[in-house]
Amino acid sequence: MRVMYIAKVKKFIESLDDVLAFRVARSIDSLERYGNLLGLPVSKAMGKGLFELRITGDNHIRIFYCFHNNNAVILHAIFKQHHSIPKREIEYARKTIKELR
């Protein structure tokens, strides 16, 4: 499966230190390899066609993506700083899905 990126997400990933960038790349490689078969603990369905890649450790990162035209499209990425993901971040990712379609 091919993985495509929104430009804003590329900048986010490029801003990470080497260790985090490696962990993100490893998760994205898993997405590319397994596609919609990827599940917990690496990926979680968020409903309405939105999924998240879950990078855990000292810094938790969430990368939101969807499937579109047989590709995985990475829509948004954040550092997770609270127990739950802020609603505005999920809404932003869902808005990006609508713009994509």
Q: What total of structural domains would you count in the chain? A: 1
Q: What is the pLDDT of residue 6?
A: 87
Q: What is the pLDDT of residue 59?
A: 84
**Domain residues for 15?**
2-100
Amino acid letter, residue 84: S
Tell me, yes or no, if the pTM score tops 0.85. Answer: yes
Query: What CATH number does the domain containing 55 carry?
Result: 3.30.2310.20
Tokens representing residue 24 in the block: 């993100």
Sequential pLDDT tens for the chain (101 residues):
899 988 899 999 999 999 999 999 999 999 999 988 988 989 999 999 999 999 987 889 999 999 998 899 999 999 988 888 889 999 999 999 988 77
